[in-house]
Amino acid sequence: MHIDWFVFAAQIINFLILAALLKYFLYDRIVKAMDERQARIAKSLDDADRLKAQAKAREAELEEVDRDIQRKAEEILNQAAKDAQAERQRLLADVRREAEESRQRWRESLLREREVFFEELRQRSGAFIFGTIRQIVGDLADEELEDRVIGVFIRRVAALDEDQQDMLRRSMDSGSTEILVRSGFELGEDQRNRVVKAIEPYLSPEVELNFEVAPSVGSGIELMSRGYKLSWSMGDYLAGLEEEFRRALKEEIPSGYDAGETVQ
């Protein structure tokens, strides 16, 4: 067992050469390749993690968007339903209002027609009744009736109360020079004297008393001075009666009468 010193030195050199060559051709390249691969894999994993995180974030974002869309869709549907309901109510209200308006118009038209009918009826019946009464009164008129008319007039003058007498005197003293006595028939001398006698206490001497026949007065007599009129006439009665008749006819239609009730 010996050591060959040449081989010994040669082996050390061989080892150093081998180490140098392996370092250059093997370790450096293999280690570099492994490091690069490791870095690449690490980068890939990082990328994957990043992408995963991005995907998760995106997923969350899209879920949020989806929820938003669903919520909005629901809101829109609800709104549409509300709008449709409101539109329905509005259309129903319009239809009801139009129906009510046309019913109202129909009712008013009915009322107007009834008014017109009653008016015409009133006028015709009034004209007929009073035409008939006037005819009767005209047919009955004679001297005796005229005397009674004058008698009634004289009684009325005599029955004037204090205030009316004052008014009559004042109207006659107010400078009027003419007093007109109108009658529906021609007064005879005697009848004129009775009238003059009755109103004499209120007359001034300078006042002129005129008599006039006026068919419009009817079976009656009236005294007119400035601002004062005293009369008695069947026409007045008839006019009052006619007026009363008209009022009575109107009252025949109750004030609270609602044509709608009849419609219904």
Partner 1 sequence: MEILRLNQISPDQVIFLQWGFVKISATLVYTWLIMGILIALALLVGRKATSDVKISRWQNLLEVVVSSIREQIHEVSQDNPDHYTVFIGTLFLFIGLSNLLLIVPGYVAPTSSLTTTSALAVTVFLSVPIYGISKNGLSYFKEYFQPTFIFFPFHVMGEFTRTLALAIRLFGNIMSHDKVIAILLAVTPLFFPIVMHALGLLIGMVQAYIFSILAMVYIASVTQAHHHEEKVH
Residues that bind partner 1 (CB under 8 A): 1-4, 6-12, 14-19, 21-23, 25-27, 29-34, 36-37, 40-41
CA–CA dist 72, 231 (Å, integer):
91
Least gap, CB of 54 to partner 1 (angstroms): 23
- For the record, the structure tokens of 89 come out as 């109510």
Least gap, CB of 49 to partner 1 (angstroms): 18
Please report, as a single letter, which amino acid is at residue 123.
Q
Least gap, CB of 17 to partner 1 (angstroms): 7
Q: Provide the edge-to-edge strand list for the sheet that holds 228-233.
A: 208-213, 178-183, 220-225, 228-233
Least gap, CB of 48 to partner 1 (angstroms): 14
Q: Which is nearer to partner 1, 21 or 253 (CB)?
A: 21
Least gap, CB of 46 to partner 1 (angstroms): 16
CA–CA dist 44, 47 (Å, integer):
5
Q: Which is nearer to partner 1, 18 or 253 (CB)?
A: 18
Least gap, CB of 64 to partner 1 (angstroms): 37
Q: What letters, b where the CB count within 10 A reaches 16 and e where it falls short, cover 25-38?
A: eeeeeeeeeeeeee
Q: Which is nearer to partner 1, 20 or 136 (CB)?
A: 20
How crowded is residue 200: how many other Cβ atoms within 10 Å of its Cβ? 10
Q: Which is nearer to partner 1, 13 or 127 (CB)?
A: 13
Q: Which is nearer to partner 1, 16 or 62 (CB)?
A: 16
Q: Which is nearer to partner 1, 21 or 213 (CB)?
A: 21
How crowded is residue 170: how many other Cβ atoms within 10 Å of its Cβ? 14
What DSSP string runs through 122-142?
HHHHHHHHHHHHHHHHHHH--
